[in-house]
């Protein structure tokens, strides 16, 4: 009951990792990376959020809590991951979260234009996902820009994002973080490092001066 009350009243992101239901081999964006990514994403109360490559659904759940008047779409191609997202959706009572069992960009076709997009996995289709988001924005006159955050662990994804930024002339902020946590070993505690993660953030639709930029 104490945990339930704590998370009901929490007004900042940062649900601890051990509160999420985990299934074997289903990845999860860890707490510290998730918090920084959400601060870069800047979701709004009535935002329409895509979580692409949603994994366990930790980002989806956090976004659903931060956007109580909005909607979150968790896109995930693996059945086991969709099951994990469903379990966490039920646990945290986030009924504004919808699970889409599909790959991106194909799974985006019937969804409303987003205001915010978190990309935790591209499946090697980042350019196609980007083009689909630009097309979505062009179809909805009420959406003037889409805020995007992408997390990259592999050198291939970093290279893919860097090439896209050059090609589309995007003003991208890149932040790399490396998190270490204490782990008990006998009578001592050692700081155990996690994989470094690069967080890319940018806005489709407007550059930093507020001028219109389609990114095509």
Please tell me the predicted confidence (pLDDT) of residue 81.
96
Please tell me the predicted confidence (pLDDT) of residue 144.
87
Please tell me the predicted confidence (pLDDT) of residue 143.
87
Classify residue 67 by its DSSP letter.
Answer: -
Helices and strands counted in the chain (H then E): 6, 10
> What is the pTM assigned to this prediction?
0.88
Confidence of residue 21 (pLDDT cuts 50, 70, 90): very high
Please tell me the predicted confidence (pLDDT) of residue 215.
43
Three-state secondary structure call for residue 170: coil
Q: How many Å apart are CA 123 and CA 156, to the nearest integer?
A: 11
User: How is the chain split into domains, by residue range?
Assistant: 30-209
Q: Which residue has the tokens 């979505």?
A: 136
Cβ contact 146:116 at 8 Å: yes
Regarding predicted confidence, which is higher, 143 or 33? 33
Quick one: which of 68, 109, 59 has its CA closest to 88?
59
Kindly tell me if the per-residue pLDDT of 208 is higher than 60. no
Token pair in block for residue 67: 């956007």
Digit-coded pLDDT (tens) for 60-78: 999 999 999 999 999 999 9
Which listed CATH number (3.40.50.1110, 3.40.50.300, 3.40.50.1820, 3.40.50.150) goes with 30-209? Answer: 3.40.50.150
Please tell me the predicted confidence (pLDDT) of residue 214.
42
Confidence of residue 13 (pLDDT cuts 50, 70, 90): confident
């Amino acid at each position: 009951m104490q945990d339930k009350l704590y998370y009901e009243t929490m007004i900042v992101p940062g649900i601890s990792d051990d509160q999420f239901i985990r299934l074997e081999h289903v990845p999860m964006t860890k707490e510290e990376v998730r918090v920084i990514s959400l601060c870069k994403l800047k979701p709004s109360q009535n935002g329409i959020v895509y979580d692409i490559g949603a994994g366990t659904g930790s980002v989806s759940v956090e976004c659903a809590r931060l956007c109580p008047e909005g909607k979150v779409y968790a896109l995930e191609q693996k059945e086991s991951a969709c099951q994990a997202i469903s379990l966490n959706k039920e646990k945290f009572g986030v009924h504004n979260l919808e699970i889409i069992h599909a790959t991106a960009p194909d799974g985006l076709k019937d969804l409303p234009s987003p205001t915010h997009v978190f990309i935790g996995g591209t499946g090697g289709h980042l350019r196609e996902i980007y083009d689909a988001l630009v097309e979505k924005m062009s179809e909805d006159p009420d959406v003037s820009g889409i805020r995007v955050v992408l997390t990259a662990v592999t050198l291939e994804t970093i290279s893919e994002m860097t090439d896209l930024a050059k090609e589309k002339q995007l003003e991208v902020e890149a932040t790399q973080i490396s998190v270490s946590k204490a782990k008990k070993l006998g009578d001592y505690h050692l700081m155990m490092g996690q994989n470094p993660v690069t967080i890319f953030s940018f806005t489709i639709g407007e550059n930093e001066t507020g001028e219109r930029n389609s990114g095509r």
